[in-house]
Structure 1
């Protein structure tokens, strides 16, 4: 496991090490190169799936009339052949290298949590409608729990809107609603091409984190700070 870390220091990336000893490396560069090859291979996605209503771009997309592949699928397609054989509860070891070149995270977790890197990447880096919320994910590890992600999202929103309560409440409402729609649409697409539930549940996790924003985050954060003070 330690021998993998040097590569993760160069760019944002993820290593998955499975129980059988096999490994999978994910990065933006790897994903971008593999997507077009996958999409051009008609044997990968049958014509009836490509034509299905649930497989098309959603109405929220500024390119909804475009017949090309939904951009949110791009980080997923290259991984299907390998990742789709796992269930969401299967265990996997993960090394995540983030934006900081000398900081990385190691976790022994399940597949749906490990794939949160891909689901978040899909929704806020690739999705045409979700990109505008990317800034709120600054400094967030995709391997964190939903409550931790929600806490950091809320603090980022609070700071970026300078504590303006009306603006914060509006962003929280719009953001949560948009992520719910985008996640649900993505799960519908995945139901057409996936055999197992690991990818599907990773998008459920992404939605849960944003849904928590509307459930009294001020009170929750105050309780967390109070609890931390007691420990220290």
Structure 2
């Protein structure tokens, strides 16, 4: 029952070419920087994985974390809400060059699609996006006189998330706003890998993500923060 792993390298070793990967975080808050960088290290060592579909709230900033993953050429498609955030230069350049595909999803719809994936709900209706380009080709129904757009669930092969405390059974708690998308993503992925600052005991009443949704836990005692790295003008790998 012990789901702890000794290294980040081992944690990401099973992600294959073409996998769909949810990555937690709202900007830098809750972003699993070390797991992402471990995946980049694996790519530089082996040439794999490539052709990834990444689901995230934004498109990364600077040249670390998600932006570095994209810059390495590992991502074929990005599903996100905010492709133009603080410093999305990497994604912008590749997108304009036609080297990466974008599926734009309103933020609330993105969260609900992930929640639906975890809950086993194939589709739902929302008024968001009706009458816009984002609704083109999607079924529309009228409820109580108002048009609603059908959206499909969103699931993934893997989820990379960051939590504050994890136990050996995979139960997780989060620190403040770092919670954001991660609990939803954990339910919607076949394999959830969590980096945690602390491995220890958790009061059952305090558990946010039950261990049944988590397959691997790896400890990162002093995780990096995306905003701090960007203020230092860091780049990965470098």
Give TM-score scaled by structure 2 length.
0.21
**Greater strand percent: which structure?**
2
Higher helix fraction: Structure 1 or Structure 2?
1
Query: Larger relative CO (CA 8 A, sep 6+): 1 or 2?
Result: 2
